Amino acid sequence: MYRVLIVDVNPETTDLLSKTLSTADCTAVRVVAGSDVLRLSTEDSWDLILVGLQLADMNGLDLIRQLRCGNRSVQCVLLAGVAIDEHALQALRVGVRDYLRRPLFGFDPTRATGEVRHLQMTGSLAPLEPHARERWANVVIAAISSPRDLRTLQDWARHAAVSSGAIRNWCRTARISARRSLLFARVLRAVLRQGERNGKPEDLLNIVDRRTLAKLLRSCGGTADHLPTSMTDFLEHQRLIDDGAAIDQIRAALEHQPATTPLLGAAARSGSDDRVRSVGA
């Protein structure tokens, strides 16, 4: 499932694009301000960002320049007006991947569908790399085997013996936010280890603020005060990672862990998934 962020002040454009993208194996989120895009781009990962020239709070080219400054790999396509030629050179200079003309849609669904197919054919909507989810799952499993909570991407990278840039890239190619991936790994680790010394969520996750902790626990299938009771409950009810195929890769990676690893011992003690316990028996 491709993740596309659309930023434009014209609701007809964004509505038509969103509906068209939904028929092309894409999930689209619509905003009108560049500041929203800058925030969302740090909180989550996007396969493509469609940017209008004039936004609610800034120029679209300025937004693309800022996005590219923070992440050179981000792919942006300009939603341009009729007179695109006067902006073409500047757009190329700031790193625009492609552009779509706004008469463009003419609000014609057939034309819009053709434009989306054009994005797919030119590689702006590139297919998921082979084994991307498997590689992502393996580095998540590496994180949950840590003897301590990994609070930052740098901590995670050091424990996995790779660079933080590599982890960011693996998360990006799997189309999963690095930030959410780290939270996912931290909570899964806590679920597997909550039977050790009567571990409390606030201690296992190293979170002091009760509101922050409660929000995270609820997003993972737990309650305001308790973690999910088992790995199965967590994987089935968590809302951090919405890619079902990626979650299946986590299950597969756990099942193929050697029986002697501490991870499986922790899973057994916490009363987790029966299949994992049988492997570790």
Q: Give the Cα separation of 149 and 220 in Å (integer).
A: 17
Beta bridge partners of 76: 49
Each as own residue / partner, the long-range contacts of residues 82-90 (CB below 8 Å, 24 or more positions apart, any chain) are 87/53, 87/61, 90/61
Instruction: Let me know: does 186 contact 159? Beta carbons within 8 Å.
Output: no
Q: How many CB atoms lie within 10 A of CB 127?
A: 10
How far is Cα 220 from Cα 214, in angstroms, rounded to an integer?
10
Q: For the chain, which domains are there?
A: 2-121 (3.40.50.2300), 132-280 (no CATH)
Per-residue pLDDT tens, the chain, 281 aa: give them.
678 899 999 888 888 888 888 877 788 899 999 999 999 988 887 888 889 888 999 998 899 888 888 776 678 888 876 544 555 556 666 777 776 766 544 445 555 566 666 666 665 666 666 688 899 999 999 988 898 999 999 999 999 999 988 898 888 788 788 888 999 999 999 998 887 766 789 999 989 899 999 999 999 999 999 999 999 999 999 988 888 888 999 998 888 766 544 554 444 444 444 333 333 33
Whether the full predicted model's pTM is greater than 0.75, yes or no, is no
